């Protein structure tokens, strides 16, 4: 099978390297040719920074660029290409006029230097016709992951929202925790057993049942002391708002 890769960032790097031993990756596109060349060398493809040079004989073209760049890329592609993008939030109608188009969204966080078992990742699939849907499903199950869910653009956007809250927000809150610890010459690692158990418990018994802490107990004295310790006004507001959410949920 012949595949074009559009993009050379985190998602493209992981997925292209996963599939390159089983499919023929024809071209890797990036606006920055150096980035395209680096990934292309890893997967045995040709590097391009001009979409007019994309291999038109490819069986599938996968657009793996940032959300803000998807429309800019798509309008430059021939409408008879079989094409998917990997975004969680951009609807399928970005491919207006394409005969065969769809979504291949990996529900995971990607960093170039972090190893991932791609076969465990859920892929959310959508297509504009049943024949192309079958092609995407077969492609994904054979070369990427058998953990596949067929969704609509609306449902995928809801899942993406849940993912942002549970992943991106938690990551930032951990960075705020790290700042507090570093001010006291402590490492974030001290929280590792706590966070590991918290996440495990949330999936074992449900997040509401796993909830603990001063907000659930409505321990006003502790919450006031901790709020007064926070110097960053935005973080102080976050502490207060999330505490209110926890109290509302548990009382």
User: Do the beta carbons of residue 19 and residue 143 sit within 8 Å?
Assistant: yes
User: Do the beta carbons of residue 24 and residue 4 sit within 8 Å?
Assistant: no
Mean pLDDT calculated for residue range 34-39 = 96
**pLDDT score of 83:** 98
Same fold, 2-151 and 157-250: no
Residue with more model confidence, 111 or 228 = 228
Does residue 112 have a pLDDT over 90?
Answer: no
> How far from each other are the two terminal CA atoms of the chain, in whole angstroms?
56
Residue 40's nearest CA partner among 15, 2, 13 is 13
pLDDT tier at 114 (50, 70, 90 boundaries)?
confident
One CATH from 1.20.140.10, 1.10.1040.20, 3.30.1330.10, 3.40.30.10 for 157-250: 1.10.1040.20
- State the Cα–Cα distance between residues 66 and 7, nearest whole angstrom: 8
CB burial readout 45-73, b (16+ within 10 A) else e: bbbbbebeebbeebebbbbbbeeeebeeb
**pLDDT score of 153:** 95
Mean pLDDT calculated for residue range 148-157 = 96
Give whole-number Cα distances, 248 to 80, 208, 212, 235, 239, in Å: 52, 12, 14, 20, 14
**CB-side neighbour CA atoms (13 Å) of 45:** 36
pLDDT per position as a tens digit, 121-148: 999 999 999 999 999 999 999 999 999 9
**pLDDT score of 2:** 97
**pLDDT score of 249:** 92
What are 231's two structure tokens?
């110097």
For the chain, what percent of residues have pLDDT higher than 70? 100
Identify the sign of the CA torsion 23, 24, 29, 33.
Answer: positive
- State the Cα–Cα distance between residues 167 and 163, nearest whole angstrom: 6
pTM for the model stands at 0.90
pLDDT per position as a tens digit, 211-239: 999 999 999 999 999 999 999 999 999 99
Mean pLDDT calculated for residue range 80-95 = 96
**pLDDT score of 244:** 96
Which residues 6+ apart lie within 8 Å of 37 measured at CB?
47
Does residue 10 have a pLDDT over 90?
Answer: yes
Residue 63's nearest CA partner among 78, 49, 35, 84 is 84
What are 197's two structure tokens?
């158990």
CATH of domain 2-151: 3.40.50.720
What are the sequence ranges of the domains in the chain?
A: 2-151, 157-250
Q: What's the gap between Cα 164 and its chain centre?
A: 9
pLDDT tier at 33 (50, 70, 90 boundaries)?
very high
**pLDDT score of 115:** 87
For the chain, what percent of residues have pLDDT higher than 90? 97
**pLDDT score of 105:** 97
**pLDDT score of 250:** 85
């Amino acid at each position: 099978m012949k595949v074009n890769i559009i993009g050379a960032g985190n998602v493209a790097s992981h997925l292209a390297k996963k599939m390159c031993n089983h499919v023929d990756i024809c071209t890797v596109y990036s606006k920055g040719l150096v980035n395209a060349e680096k990934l292309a060398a890893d997967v045995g493809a040709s590097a391009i920074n001009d979409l007019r040079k994309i291999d038109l004989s490819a069986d599938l073209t996968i657009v793996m660029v940032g959300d803000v760049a998807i429309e800019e890329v798509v309008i430059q592609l021939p409408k008879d290409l079989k094409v998917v993008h990997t975004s969680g939030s951009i609807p399928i109608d970005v491919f207006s006029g394409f005969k065969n188009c769809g979504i291949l969204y990996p529900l995971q966080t990607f960093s170039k230097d972090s190893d991932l078992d791609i076969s465990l990742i859920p892929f959310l699939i959508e297509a504009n016709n049943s024949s192309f849907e079958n092609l995407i499903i077969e492609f994904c199950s054979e070369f990427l992951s058998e953990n596949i869910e067929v969704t609509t653009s609306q449902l995928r956007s809801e899942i993406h929202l849940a993912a942002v809250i549970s992943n991106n927000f938690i990551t930032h809150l951990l960075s705020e925790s790290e700042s507090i610890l570093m001010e006291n010459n402590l490492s974030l690692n001290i929280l590792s057993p706590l966070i590991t158990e918290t996440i495990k418990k949330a999936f074992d018994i449900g997040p509401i049942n796993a909830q603990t802490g001063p907000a659930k107990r409505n321990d006003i004295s502790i919450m006031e002391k901790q709020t007064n310790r926070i110097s960053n006004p935005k973080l102080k507001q976050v502490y207060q708002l999330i505490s209110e959410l926890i109290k509302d949920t548990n009382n």
